[in-house]
Amino acid sequence: MNQRWHSWNQVEKRSRPEILDATLAELAADPHLPTPDWRQAQPWIELGRQLGVDKFEIMSLHQRQDLLLARDWLDQASASLGCQGLVVNLHEGCPWPHQLGHYPDLEVRWVPDSSGPDLTPCRRLLDMGLAVSLVVPEAFEMDPICLNRWVTQSQQVGVTVLEICGRRGAPWLPGIHSLLHFVRGILGRHSARLAWSSDHGFGLALSQALEAWNVGAQRVRGSLFGCGIQGNVPLELLWVNLELDQMDPSEDLTLLTRWCRYGEETFDLEVSNDHPVFGRDAFRSATDLPIHSSLSAASLGLTHSVEVGPLSGQSNLIDWLDRQGLAHDSLTLDGMLRQVQGFNQVLTDLELVDLYHSIACSGA
């Protein structure tokens, strides 16, 4: 039966936030993961652009050596796919990067280390013709007067994006609502865009990002599978949730699957079996219950897997036998089910084939 989807969000349609993918920068900063090179990064960026990712944070600049590597990457980017949409993190202790002025399409994400809002570096970067986003450190711990000072000075300097960060699960969802409403009240309508980022935060990163978007954040920063030393918003889950918000069940997300599989294999990222979309268990069932999902496996280029185990009923077994092209009758089904229920785990195809032949030969 075909069912038309009704969107309860139609009254308040929200535009999709700008997506800042920090996967490359987070991989480079994590000593436990391999640092990507440009040959790996270029296909990642190209696939991401096809998918619709807006910005790519390629590396963090802490010292002179980082500047040399950034110059090499940006030169190669200029010669191949262009620097439009590329972002570098500039930390306070880094030597001044005069060379970045050669890449006018580049965005610099200024990450201050001090608690006082000295935004002179932002002004110098803007004078170089670069777009500048400002990360407000520990904004959720600031009192309103201090936060007001940060936001007001960012307006005076003219930063392009003001990024508010969550840390260690804070603030909770009501706090995000209050915090971003406060910042938006200072920014007004015609000023810097508001961005949100957070670490893993005891598994709250995704819900925090969605709440920030709901409140009015126009950019969300994250990484593939939430990779990073302290974790991040998992971009693949954010993307799926944003697609579900559009309530279009026919949306083709196979490119998202390609992007994730490329990142998983190229960057040596482990995906847990219980990952809700790309884990091994996401679209498999061994119970005698139908698989219900807000997102179809086919839309992701994946398949539902119906398996047979001790909790399975006849429907699972019939489905498996039909897929194998094996004839069956009620005696075969009853005999196989009795045997299967004696196991303590899901059976492999080979085990089921052996069981089928043994039951068929014995006449059940």
Three-class DSSP labels, 172-190: CHHHHHHHHHHHHHHHCCC
Residue at which a domain ends, from 266, 298, 317: 266
Does the structure show a pLDDT above 90 at 281? no
* Confidence bin at 239 (pLDDT 50/70/90): very high
- Domain count along the chain: 2
**Which residues form the domain of 242?**
18-266
179 and 327 together in one domain: no
Residues 83 and 197 in one domain: yes
| Chain centroid, CA 247 distance in Å | 19
User: For residue 320, is pLDDT > 90?
Assistant: no
Looking at 266, 292, 324, the residue that finishes a domain is 266
Residues 6+ apart with CB under 8 A from 93: 62, 63, 113
pLDDT > 90? residue 311: no
Q: For residue 174, is the peptide bond before it cis, meaning its omega torsion is within 30 degrees of 0?
A: no
User: Taking residues 91-101, what's their average pLDDT?
Assistant: 91
Higher per-residue confidence, 307 vs 65: 65
Q: Is position 154 within any domain?
A: yes
301 versus 126: the higher-pLDDT residue is: 126
CB 24 within 8 A of CB 264: no
Same domain, 35 and 110: yes
- Is 350 found in the same domain as 258? no
- One domain for residues 330 and 261: no
Is the per-residue pLDDT at 58 higher than 80? Answer: yes
Identify the three-state secondary structure at position 129.
Answer: coil
Instruction: Write down which residue in 266, 290, 322 finishes a domain.
Output: 266
Tell which residue, 19, 21, 20, 23, has the closest CA to residue 228: 23
Q: Is the model more confident about 298 or about 272?
A: 272
Outline where DSSP puts E strands in 287-335: 305-306
Give the bridge partners for 134, in sequence order. Answer: 110, 162
Q: What is the CATH number of the domain that holds 125?
A: 3.20.20.70
Residues 221, 314 within the same domain: no
Burial of 273 (0-12, 13-18, 19+ CB in 10 A): exposed
Q: How many CA atoms lie within 13 A of 28 on its CB side?
A: 20
**144-157 and 173-187 are packed helices; what angle lies between their axes, rounded to 10 degrees?**
40
Predicted local confidence at residue 18, as pLDDT: 97
Residues 274 and 156: their CA atoms lie apart, in Å, by 47
Within-domain flag for 249: yes
pTM summary value: 0.85
Residue 49: pLDDT over 70: yes
In a domain, 293, yes or no: no
Cα–Cα distance measured from residue 322 to residue 218, given in angstroms and rounded to the nearest whole number:
49
Please give the average per-residue pLDDT across 314-328, as a whole number.
87
201 lies in the same domain as 331: no
Residue 297, C-beta contacts closer than 8 angstroms, at least 6 positions apart: 282, 283, 303, 304
- Residue 364 CA to residue 351 CA, distance in Å, equals 17
Using alpha carbons, select from 202, 145, 214 the residue that is nearest to residue 170: 202
DSSP 8-state secondary structure symbol assigned to residue 119: -
Tell me what the pLDDT averaged over the chain comes to: 88
Q: Is the pLDDT of residue 2 over 70?
A: no
pLDDT of residue 189: 75
Rounded to whole angstroms, the Cα distance separating 89 from 111 reads 7
